[in-house]
Amino acid sequence: MRVATEQKRLTLITGAEAAAHAMRQINPDVVPVYPITPQTPIIETFAQFIADGQCDTEIINVESEHSAMSAAVGASCAGARVMTATSSQGLALMLEIVYIAASMRCPIVIAVGSRALSGPINIHCDHSDSMMARDAGCVQIFAENAQEAYDLMIIAQRLAEDRRVLVPVMVMQDGFTITHSAEPVALLPDESVREFVGQYEPLYPLLDTDRPTTQGPFALPDYYFELKRQQVDALEAARTVWLELQERFAETSGRRYEGFFEEYKLSDAEYALVILSSTAGTAKVVIDRLRRKGVKVGLLKPWLFRPFPAEEIAQALAHAHAIAVLDRAISFGSWGPMYLEISAALGRYLHEKPVLYNYIYGLGGRDTPPESIASVVTDMQNELDPRVLRYLGLRE
């Protein structure tokens, strides 16, 4: 990401507040929410904006996340612009309806403060929650820091509502690490955001009583499959729309999200790390240190996880000698979710494949210091067996 030299002003806010500012500026019609740590500061900050008259969205303080997503689908089908926010168990409870939101083609933006799933209950960050939802039919975007969380929420709104897409978009930021940590963030002027997102024009609003529609019918084997195929196309289209929107967003903000992922010192790297979200920031520090020692190491940080930019990632990693994918979630009985994607991508697109390692790290908020990440590079240099799943910072 290139940061524009002409920053109008920087505001010291948390990631949660940054997401709330994006919501204030977008000023959606309806926001159904239910509180859960670490999402709470997003919805509290947003509720205060409404209380102070800075935007006039209707919040529905529902009695569960299941009802939050249900109300979101109802409002979205009615013709409203809808956003919500959740974490962990909240997303798990929503999940039945997240699938339906995607199939009913509801462009709902969901801010997620990433948090481990129970049990045991744990309020700290990992990516088990969003990875659990990876097959639901939503676009999934991971933000590294508060600035990205803010920018990507704004981009998400237009991405979701593009008629080629029309599916929910989840924007993840790491719980506590980002949601509760203050950073300088460049906020756009309100008018710029409103101009960027425009007004939502629903295709078939339920509230158009002159053109009645039956929404959410019963589809048997003679139609269900084709309807699912349309969702495949929607996610495919999201790739194109994402790239188009980045051009527009760069014009609006001076900040450019180039491609589907950030490459950090990757072009000549012999060793590549693939990491989502805030830990990618730690990895950059490690990479700088190792580079000073002459180790050619680089980073690939996906913003977009769904749709997964498999070919682009395979090409970007093709030149590396070894790659380590760091997953902050695990598919029990298998390996890390992102590793599985990248392994498939390398297999599909490359004849000569780099050695591919998988590390599980940071579950339940376990700290991942720079030394842990450096040890991964050492492992690759020592040519450890890549057929072994490894863990960072775990007591065995």
Residues within the interface to other proteins (CB under 8 A): 29-30, 32, 56-58, 60-64, 66-68, 70-80, 82, 96-97, 100, 104, 206-209, 212-220, 223
DSSP states of 369-390 as a string? -HHHHHHHHHHHHTT--TTS-E
Q: Nearer to other proteins by C-beta: 71 or 187?
A: 71
What are 256's strand-pairing partners?
Answer: 2
Cα-based distances in Å from 113 to 12, 14, 36, 42: 19, 12, 9, 9
Q: Which amino acid is at 358?
A: N
Q: CB 112 → other proteins: shortest distance, Å?
A: 20
Nearest distance, CB of residue 390 and other proteins, angstroms = 41
Count Cα atoms within 13 angstroms, Cβ side, for 308: 16
Nearer to other proteins, 60 or 276 (CB): 60
Distances (CA, A) of 303 to 71, 95, 217, 224, 270: 28, 22, 34, 31, 22
Nearest distance, CB of residue 178 and other proteins, angstroms: 29
User: Closer CB to other proteins, residue 74 or residue 336?
Assistant: 74
- For the CB of residue 99, give the shortest distance to other proteins in the complex, in Å: 10
Residue 96 beta carbon to other proteins: minimum distance, rounded to whole angstroms: 6
Decide whether 82 or 193 has the Cβ nearer to other proteins: 82
Q: Which residues pair with 30 in a beta bridge?
A: 58, 82
- Cα atoms in the 13 Å half-sphere on the side-chain side of 160: 36
CB of 330 to other proteins, least distance (A): 29
With beta carbons less than 8 A apart as the criterion, state whether 86 and 168 touch: no
Task: Give the pairing type, strands 169-174 and 109-114.
Answer: parallel
Q: Minimum Å distance from CB 193 to other proteins?
A: 18
Distances (CA, A) of 308 to 19, 332, 337, 341: 23, 21, 11, 8
For residue 280, how many other CB atoms are within 10 A of its CB?
24
Cβ proximity to other proteins, 78 vs 340, nearer residue: 78
Q: Which is nearer to other proteins, 62 or 350 (CB)?
A: 62
Q: Are 335 and 283 in contact (CB under 8 A)?
A: no
Cβ at position 319, least distance to other proteins in Å: 48
Q: Of 312, 271, 306, 276, which Cα lies nearest the Cα of 291?
A: 271
Residue closer to other proteins, measured from CB, 72 or 275: 72
Q: Which is nearer to other proteins, 210 or 268 (CB)?
A: 210
